[in-house]
Structure 1
Amino acid sequence: MKQCHFFAGDWILHRITFVSKSLHLSQLYLLLSVLLLTPGMAKATDITEQLHRPSAKSIVQIDRDEADNLVSQGKQQYDSRDMNQALKSWLTALEVYHRLGDFRAQGQTYDYLSQGYIKLGRYREAEDAMRRRLAIARDTQDFQAQIFSLNNIGTLLLQYGESASAYKTFTDAWEIANHVKNTEGQGISLNNLGLASARLGDYKRAIQFYESAIPLRQQVRDAIGEANTLNNLGDAYLAARNYAGTIGSYGLALRIAKINGDRPNQVRALDGLITAHSSVKRYERTFELLEQRLALAKNSQNLLEELQSFQSYAKVYEQMGNYSTASNFYERAMILARSLADSQQEILLQDKIIQIRQKVK
């Protein structure tokens, strides 16, 4: 079996894709954050309970090769977005690995289960799997797995609003990474410590953590992780009202993301720059950035991003006091919301249009 890790710490909406160890670890780093913003959290069911549910095929008849095949089958089902079947495949394989006493395979399978549960928004079950993974990593003295498991758990704690606990968890991860001189783990942990600090309102400390993480991400040639941390740094500078630092950080993130074809970080950097420039009324530059964002959405035929671009246009025009043009862009956004069958967004936009038209009168 190939080992798979997925990492914590990014808070921008991204699509998750199943990846193997052949991909750079930083690409896995982005997966968890997009899903953590998905609404709805199911009540956890202990994994041990699920392991003892009756199975159509006798577990006794399944040998190690068949268990490995089930894991591969689960990956295919995951890629096909058949999450429930993927979980069934992995849970069946996990019981075999338990029976065989194969801790390495158990740990890898818990990683897969975590991803599946997160995809379904079942965060408590994902946390259960992560903590079991961490326990195995500690028993087997697998320091790298401990670093990644702690970062994943910390990110879920941030999702629950438990920022202080998340900060301690990320600190534990960083201490292990520092002790074993795992450069990539150090970079990830420092980035996440920045996120926890920002959630606690300590933007000065967050900035220090992000700035410490950047050279480590560069050292391991982690371009996606570097762009992600630079965007986080831009967020912290923006919250601290340091517009020079904000524009510099987002600008560098945008440049790196463009070079590497990293669309999520590219869109995020553009959004940050649009907010920063419009905040200081640099409208000419703001509209140049808005054009880039809209072109990026249209080129990828991403209707949701196109809708968001229209909303951004509308907000800027509203800020400028040009309510008629703002209303037109909100209307274009509403049409796309209708096309996407997003009734909630459509209602919100309708309300916004009514408010804008009252200002025009």
Structure 2
Amino acid sequence: MSIGGFSAPWWFLLLIVVAAVVVGYVLALRARRRRMMRFSNLELLDRVAPRSQGWPRHVPAVLLIVSMLLLTVALAGPTAEQKVPRNRATVMLVIDVSLSMEATDVKPTRIQAAQDAATQFAKGLTPGINLGLVSFAGTATVLVAPTTERRSVVNAIANLKLAQSTATGEGIYAALQAVSGFSAVVGGADGPPPARVVLMSDGKQTVPEDLYAPRGAFTAAEEAKKEQVPISAISFGTNHGTVTIDGREVPVDVDDGSLQEVARLSGGEFYQAGSAEQLKAVYADLGEQIGYETKEADASRPWVVLGTLALIAGAGSALFLGQRLP
């Protein structure tokens, strides 16, 4: 039972009462002993006084004091760090569907491995989180607007289609627009819900070629920073991937550098995955980060339970050993 602090520490003043009970019990034992020693006829005392039970006779009192201590701690409101599900967050999953995703350097193919990992991510994400999906190649499409309904996202992931070119910036802008539209609808007194973009790509942006162009990836990442929507960028693939286009083999090396910069500019994190297993591990880590947050939460329940059990045990032992309650 780890404790990070107490929400109502003034309840510890009751420890003065507990200490008084301990002192009173000790004094009562001494007074009883003095009264017994007043008998001059020890043989008669042996016959009329009940036999001493030794240390077991103190068990009920000890359990009562332990119970008081445990319940005092519970009243003081102990808190501890606990993982609490997020219920208002918005996550946009942005997946690259350019032709380079046909590469087989990741088995069976990059796109199939990505679909499997993304599906697992969507199914495992905290139910209260709103999840949306964007696919991008030469253009970007919002396939699913943010929703707590996972079936539509899973179905859309399964039906991803590949196309030419890679417009990473367009994918980011489409996600930001979806987040903005959703926040305008559900935002309340607490403001818009926190949001994040999870971007997975395997190649360098080709449309436009300048990453700092008005619709480029770096410009979009800077816009995400302004809107306080960090981007978790996943670089997926290896440096020896190839695809066949128009009968010729074209190398499609993964582009770590640009995705790392996208994450940095947006205030997010960069992840590298060179296999299907690594991609699933990255998504699992993201699901843990996004789905839960660590907060100081109430941790008094175990103390209440133990205190109550100690109280019951004390009463039971008093009836069993002395045929009376303490």
Instruction: Give the TM bin, normalised by the shorter chain.
Output: under 0.3
TM-score (norm 2): 0.26
Q: As a proportion of its length, which structure holds more strand?
A: 2
Q: RCO greater where, 1 or 2, for CA within 8 Å and sep 6 or more?
A: 2
Q: As a proportion of its length, which structure holds more helix?
A: 1
TM-score (norm 1): 0.24
In terms of Rg, which structure is larger?
A: 2
